[in-house]
Structure 1
Amino acid sequence: MSKKTVVAPADEDPVAVVAEEWRSWDGLNPEILGLIFVRIPIEEMVSIVPLVCKGWMEVVYGPYCWSEVDLEAWCRRRNDSHAVDMVVKKVVRRSKFRVQRLCVYGMGEKGWFHVAYCGNFLKVLQMPMTDITDKLVSKHIKPLPNLTVLDVSHCVNITSEGLKTFGHQCKSLLHLKRNMPAFEDQLPDDSEAKAIADTMPHLQHIELCFGRFGDSGVSEILAKCKALTHLVIQGSWNVELNGDLAEICERLQHFHSPWVDDDHRFSDMSECSDAEIAVSDSD
């Protein structure tokens, strides 16, 4: 219950006036209730809150609590792409395809199919370790005009072609994470760096740890991403920073070179929190 404090007129009973101002919590606007419920631990929100009353159940099962969802910790514990896809499907459907921020780990094709249909609403998509391929990216993706943050780290089945597709469909990208496994003896390949430079010119933050590109790839990015302020290329051993590349990189607000293990100037702006989640089977 909630109460609004009032001053009773001189000719009325103060107790009666105050009693009339008591209001039921389930009578609040669903969007307001949603803003309250998302502050509750997610496991409690989906397992306890819906049992309170029908109105609260409708809010939790509606789109109001699912605009920002962090599934990464849950996905890591399950380590099952089928289970991950089922949860992603439920979350996206529950949000009425209006998810604005989604963090997921190890997603497969079925999960990606639903995420790709979030259209104008999706702003942040972090999906490291997904096993989707360039072909699946191209097959399912729809324009995501308001997507500003994309994390496709450790997605080994996505290549430069997949990055091009993202670039063409996500015109507002500002932050890209494309950190890869630390393989030894990688042959130089500038195709991914060139794809990023050619299709994502508005990027401000780029993380490309353990990339296969060399100086040519770095040069392409610096030349075409005019708004770039943060560049992290730790472990990209093919980069030598010859000529004036080192000087240009040092002019950036934050630069993490291939050979530095710890750079106090850089702070990761896109890390997902370790929020826990459990999604009800009642959909």
Structure 2
Amino acid sequence: MGEFAELRSWEELIPDALGLIFRNLSLQQILSVVPRVCKSWSRAVSGPYCWQEIDLEEWSRRVNPEQIERMLHLLVRRSSGYCRRLAISGLPNDSLFSFIADYAGSLQSLEVPRSEMSDAIVEQVAGSFSNITFLDISSCKNIGVRALKSFGMHCKSLATLRRTMHPLDVAGKVCQDDEALAIALTMPKLRHLELAYLLLTTQGVLQILSHCQELEFLDIRGCWDVKLDERLVKEKNGKLRVLGPEIVDSYERSFWNECSDYSDSSEYSWDFMDDGDAYSEDMSDEQSVWDDDVDEQNLERLQVRFYGGGFNEAFAGFEWPLSP
């Protein structure tokens, strides 16, 4: 053509663009390799551009609480309050949950299954999670009615709630209809609700159906005391799909194994309807995260799924935000 388009080097790309490129790397590579390439890349991974979405759930199940705390502090601080999704399993204490709340201004999806935070800390900091639309507090045994009420009162746009339990989580409890009532009275905009293996009765579920008129999906697998009349449910909400209670899953096959994730292939019991400078400053923090004895297989599993990547309905329609 006689003329060639102007060539630009990689280090001249804006941080937003670099963040989109780095989404294809593992977290270990982002933290340990990318910062050593050049100063502009180091600045990109040290700022919020790469941390719009932080998924540590698989990794956090295989490490000790000290590693969880160090990694969470490193990445959430880097997000500078611009994180949209945070997924981590097994928060070990109240202080770490409070730390998350300090950076939750933009958070829309919070997934903290198997965590140890208490009702008291949720009541204190729930106001910081006002933008949440997706909440997973499955197998969080130290919280109950008080926490659910606090989330419901402050998270007015909450559309999806996961509160599934392992049968061992509810051993010794008698009835959890009080949790069902808390959900019914404070979360009227729910569209997707998972309560598998909670100790509910028919009356508790009917409270939810009466108050959550926008509900489209209800998972009550293993809630054996619930007996719903199909005709009555259709009258209350014709668009509702119900899964359970009489569904045989991995809990029934092996009482001690983890339940398999819900998938589109699952059978519904009823079906009512046819995702000095910045270049050197953070190197010690990055390296220290990986200095612990974690096997390579686990490191490879530690991935960051960036915002906008098909996790769930809560993310549909959002675009990559402008640089903060």
TM-score bracket relative to the smaller structure: 0.7 to 0.9
Divergent runs of 4+, >6 A: none
Instruction: Confirm or deny that 1:51 pairs with 2:36.
Output: yes
Aligned counterpart, 2:221: 234
Instruction: Confirm or deny that 1:86 pairs with 2:66.
Output: no
Query: What is the Cα-based RMSD across aligned positions, in Å?
Result: 2.4
* Structure possessing the higher relative contact order (Cα contacts under 8 Å, 6 or more residues apart): 2
Residue 249 (structure 1) shift:
8.0
Aligned equivalents of 1:164 and 1:125: distance in 2? 16
Distance 1:249 1:209, change over 3 A: farther
Aligned counterpart, 2:285: none
Aligned equivalents of 1:133 and 1:29: distance in 2? 42
Q: When the two structures are superposed, what TM-score results if normalisation uses the length of structure 2?
A: 0.73
Aligned counterpart, 2:167: 182
Residue 248 (structure 1) shift:
5.2
- Which SS does the other structure have where 1:146 is aligned? coil
- Which SS does the other structure have where 1:173 is aligned? coil
- Which SS does the other structure have where 1:188 is aligned? coil
Of the three residues 91, 99, 124, the one matched with 1:114 is: 99
Instruction: Confirm or deny that 1:101 pairs with 2:85.
Output: yes
Residue 251 (structure 1) shift:
4.0
1:163-242 aligned at under 5 Å gives the runs 163-183=148-168, 186-241=173-228
Distance 1:143 1:110, change over 3 A: closer
Of the three residues 142, 158, 164, the one matched with 2:143 is: 158
Structure 2, unaligned runs of 5 or more: 250-265, 270-274, 276-299, 305-324
Higher mean C-alpha deviation, range 36-45 or range 247-256: 247-256
- Which SS does the other structure have where 2:105 is aligned? helix
Distance 1:138 1:27, change over 3 A: same
Q: What letter is aligned with 2:90?
A: G
Q: What letter is aligned with 2:75?
A: V
Residue 136 (structure 1) shift:
1.3
Q: How many residues align?
A: 256
Of the three residues 292, 302, 307, the one matched with 1:276 is: 302
Larger Rg: 1
- Check whether the contact 2:210–2:236 (CA below 8 A) recurs between aligned residues: no
Aligned counterpart, 1:3: none
Aligned counterpart, 2:297: none
- Which SS does the other structure have where 2:142 is aligned? coil
Aligned equivalents of 1:189 and 1:102: distance in 2? 28
Aligned equivalents of 1:245 and 1:157: distance in 2? 34
Residue 255 (structure 1) shift:
1.2
Residue 244 (structure 1) shift:
5.3
Residue 243 (structure 1) shift:
8.7
Q: What letter is aligned with 1:264?
A: E
Q: Deviations over 1:18-72 (max 9, x none)?
A: 3x81111111111111111112222212111111101101101110001111101
Aligned equivalents of 1:206 and 1:229: distance in 2? 8
Residue 85 (structure 1) shift:
2.2
- Check whether the contact 1:86–1:111 (CA below 8 A) recurs between aligned residues: no
- Which SS does the other structure have where 1:150 is aligned? strand
Structure 1, unaligned runs of 5 or more: 1-6, 9-13, 279-283
- Which SS does the other structure have where 1:22 is aligned? coil
Aligned counterpart, 1:11: none
Aligned equivalents of 2:161 and 2:6: distance in 1? 51
Aligned counterpart, 2:241: 254
- Which SS does the other structure have where 1:102 is aligned? strand
Higher mean C-alpha deviation, range 243-252 or range 101-110: 243-252
Aligned equivalents of 1:205 and 1:228: distance in 2? 6
- Which SS does the other structure have where 2:71 is aligned? helix
Distance 1:118 1:186, change over 3 A: same
Aligned equivalents of 1:110 and 1:91: distance in 2? 16
Aligned equivalents of 2:128 and 2:119: distance in 1? 16
Q: What letter is aligned with 2:148?
A: L
Instruction: Confirm or deny that 1:264 pairs with 2:276.
Output: no
Kindly, what percent of the aligned residue pairs are identical? Answer: 36
- Check whether the contact 1:71–1:275 (CA below 8 A) recurs between aligned residues: no
- Check whether the contact 1:70–1:102 (CA below 8 A) recurs between aligned residues: yes
Residue 117 (structure 1) shift:
2.2
- Which SS does the other structure have where 1:136 is aligned? helix
Q: When the two structures are superposed, what TM-score results if normalisation uses the length of structure 1?
A: 0.83
